[in-house]
Structure 1
Amino acid sequence: MANGRARDLDGMLVALVGGSGFLGTHIAQELLARGARLRVCSRHPERAFRLKPLGGLGQTQFVAVDVLKPQTVAKALVGVDAVVNLVGAFAGDLDSLQGAGVARVAEAAKAAGAVAFVHVSALGADAGSDVAYARTKAEGEAAVLGAFPAATILRPSILFGEDDKFLNMFGALMAKLPVLPVFGPEAKLQPVFVDDAAEAVANVLAAPAAHAGKTYELAGPEVVTMGELNRRIAKAADRSPVLAELPDAVSGLIAAATGWLPGAPITTDQWKLLVAGNVAGGVLPGIEALGVSPRPMGLFLDRWMTRYRKFGRFGVKAKAA
C-alpha cells in the first residue's frame, strides 16, 4: 500500500467502476493511501462499505451503477479526474457487459472530461478466440481505445492474494478431500500479486500522459504449471492429498460432458482458457515498465496457507531455539 511514497494522487477524484470486488478493494486501498478521493461505483455498492474506514473523512463515496444502464454511468462520472474500469464477468451476456458496457464507461468518462482512463482487461484477450470471455475482453479493449484514445489498457494474469478465491480455493479443497483432481497439470500460469497490480494502476494514474494509449501485461516473476502450483499449496498447508494429474484428453472429456451442469468442476470454456496458458507474451511491456517489482508467491504462501493446516496456527510446531 503506497510503499511509503509521497501522496502523488492527492486530491484526484477517481471513479472505480466495478470497484467492490477483489481487485477493486486492493486498488482502493492503494489509491486512498496515495491521497486520491474515491467514488466506488458498483451494482452493489454496499459490498464496498468496508473501504470507508480506510480513508479520511469524505474521502470515499459509494454510487450504484449498472453499465447496462447508460444513464447510471453518466451520472456517476460527473466531475471525475480519472476512471478505472474493472467491470468483467466469466458468464452471462458478455458482449453487452465487456463489449458495449465497457464502451459506455469510456464514452461517459470522455464526456465528463476525465484526464485518465485505465481499463483492466485480461491476459489472453483475443478477438479471434472462440471463448466468449477472451473474445469480449479484446473487443472491450478496442471499444475503450475507440472512445478514449489516451486510455491505458492493463492485462493482468491470474491475481493472487491473502483474500483471493484462487489459492484459497485449492487450500480449502485440500483440507477436505483426500484425493484432488488436477486439470491441465502442464498448463502454465504466471500469477501476479494483487497488491502489485494495484500499485501498477496507481502508477498509471500518477503519470497518465506517459502511459496514454499503451497496453501492459501484468504478470508475476515466475511461471508455474498447474501441477507444481498444487504441490506447492499442499506443502504450505502441510497436507498430503493424492493429486491426480489428469491427462488432457480426460480433462477435455469431463469438461464437455459435465461443464453445462451447475457446480461442474470445469467448463469447456474454462478448459480452453487453461490449456491455452496464462503467461505474458513478452511482446508488450510488462509490470516492470510501470515501476513495479512483482513479488513471487513464495514470499507469502507458507503464511497464508496456515489456516488450512490440520490444527491451523495451533498445529504449527515452534522451531527449536
Structure 2
Amino acid sequence: MSQLVTIFGGSGFVGRYIARRMAKEGWRVRVAVRNVNEAMFVRPYGVVGQVEPVFCNIRDDASVAAVTDGADVVVNCVGVLDETGKNTFDAVQAEGATRIARIAAQMEINRMVHISAIGANPAAESAYAQTKAEGEAGVLAHQPDAVILRPSIIFGHEDQFFNRFAGMTRFGPALPVVGGSTRFQPVYVDDVAAAAVQGILGHAKPGLYELGGPDVLTFREMMQKMLGVIRKRRMIINIPFWAAGIMASCFGIARALSFGLIKGPLTKDQVINLAVDNVVADGAKGFGDLGITPTAMDVVLPDYLWRFRPSGQYDAIKESAKNLKA
C-alpha cells in the first residue's frame, strides 16, 4: 500500500500545491480542513480515492488524532494573517502547531514538515511573528527532526497579495501602501510546495530553511512591477506608519462594535509587521540546499494578473493591432 501524508490546511493556498505534488508522487493524501465541502476540489489531484479531504479542528486533540492516525508523515500549513473568533494567533500558530507535532510523536510519526514564515521571532513586537516562533519551538520540542520552512511573501494564482492590490486599481487613480520601503523576497507558491515535498520524502536534512525568490524588492517596487504587468498607471501613495496605526485602530474599533461584521483592510499587527524587512537572512539554509532553483516573478505574474488589464485577455491583441500597418 502506498504511503500516506496528512496535510493540515491542505486546501489552502500552499497546501493545495503540496497535495497536488504528493499525489503525483503516488502517495495517498489526506487533506485535513475545517470545511470539507469547500475542499472537494482537491480530489481530482489524484486517482479515485487517492486524495481525500477530511474534517479537522487543530484546536482539538481528538480531532487532530483522528486525521493523524495511520499517516507516515504530517505537514502543517495552517496559519492566519488576522485573528477571527477562536482562531487567534496563539490558538492556531502556536498551540495548533505544537498539538500536531505532539500527537504525531505519540503515534510514532517521526517525520514532519512545518510551514512557518520569515520573521518568526519570539522577541518580535508582532503577535503574528511571536506565535510563528512559538509554533516552531513547539514543533521542535516534539519533532526534533522536523523540516521547518520559512517563506517570504508568497505569490501565485490564488494569492491574496498581488490579486488584492491589482483589484484595488479598479477603484481610483491612487494605490495606497504601508511600508513602501520595506524589503521583501517574493517566492512562488509551487517552489514552496517543492521544498515541502523534499521534506516529506526525506530528501531534506532536518532544520530551518528560509525561502525567498531571486528578486529582492521594496513594497513600492513590487507594486510598480505589478502595475507594469497589468498595464496601468497609478500613483503609489505611501501611508506613514503612524497614520496607518491610527487607521488600523479605527478599523479595530469598528470591527469590535459590529461583532466582527465590519472588517477593515488593515490591522495594528499587520502595520507592525510591515515595518520589518522580510528577506532571507545571511547564512540561512534555503532553496540551494534543497536543490531547487526559485522562479522569478516575471515568469508567473502575467499568467494570472492579465485579468486586471484594461481589456483583460484582449489587451495583448489590441496592442498588436496598433502595430499593424494600414
TM-score (norm 2): 0.89
* 2:142 aligned residue: 147
Give yes or no for contact 1:81–1:113 (8 Å, CA) kept in 2: no
Partner of residue 6, structure 1:
none
Please give the per-residue CA displacement for 1:177-226, whole angstroms capped at 9, x wherever unaligned: 22221211111111100000000000111225x522x1111111111111
Which residue of structure 1 lines up, in the alignment, with residue 291 of structure 2?
Answer: 291
Distance (Å, rounded) in 2 between the aligned partners of 1:142 and 1:125: 11
**Cα distance in 2, alignment partners of residues 81 and 310 from structure 1:** 49
Give the equivalent residue in structure 1 for 2:184.
189
- Counterpart in 2 of 1:278? 278
> 1:253 deviation in Å?
4.0
CA contact (8 A) 2:118 2:150 kept: yes
- Give the one of 138, 152, 174 matched to 1:157: 152
Aligned residues: 310
Structure 1 residue aligned with 2:258: none
**Which one of 29, 39, 43 corresponds to residue 20 of structure 2?**
29
3-state SS of the aligned residue for 1:109? helix
Secondary structure of the structure 1 residue equivalent to 2:53: strand
Partners of 1:204 and 1:290 within 8 A in 2 = no
Give distance in 2, aligned partners of 1:106 and 1:39: 16
Aligned to 1:67: 58
Deviations along 1:151-194, whole A, 9 cap, x unmatched? Answer: 11111111100221111111111123222212111111111000
* 2:209 alignment partner, one of 196, 210, 216: 216
Residue 282 of structure 1 deviates from its aligned partner by 2.1
Partner of 2:101: 106
Deviation at 1:267, TM superposition (A): 1.9
Q: 1:24 to 1:125 in 2, by over 3 A?
A: same
Q: What is the SS of the residue equivalent to 1:289?
A: helix
1:184, 1:251 within 8 Å by CA — same for their partners in 2? no
- Distance in 1 separating the partners of 2:218 and 2:249: 22
SS of residue in 2 equivalent to 1:216: strand
Deviations 1:2-58 (A, max 9, x none): xxxxxxxx9221000121211111111111112111011111122221111120122
Alignment of 1:131-142 (within 5 A): 131-142=126-137
Q: Which residue of 203, 218, 226 corresponds with 2:219?
A: 226
Could you state the TM-score of these two structures normalised by the residue count of structure 1? 0.91
SS in 1 for 2:11: coil
Q: Tell me which amino acid in the other structure corresponds to 1:18.
A: G
**Is residue 175 of structure 1 aligned with residue 170 of structure 2?**
yes
Q: Partner letter of residue 124 of structure 1?
A: G
Question: What is the aligned counterpart of 1:245 among 233, 238, 241?
Answer: 238
- Secondary structure, in 3 states, of the residue corresponding to 2:236? strand
Q: For the residues of structure 1 that align with 2:79 and 2:301, how far apart are their CA atoms?
A: 27
Unaligned runs of 5+ in 2: 255-261
Instruction: Give 1:207's aligned residue.
Output: 202
Structure 1 window deviating more from structure 2 (86-95 vs 215-224): it is: 86-95
- C-alpha change, 1:260 and 1:174, in structure 2 (3 Å) is same
Q: Is the 8 A contact 1:175 1:239 kept in 2?
A: no
Aligned match of 1:89: 80
Sequence identity (%): 36
Q: Secondary structure at the match of 1:275?
A: coil
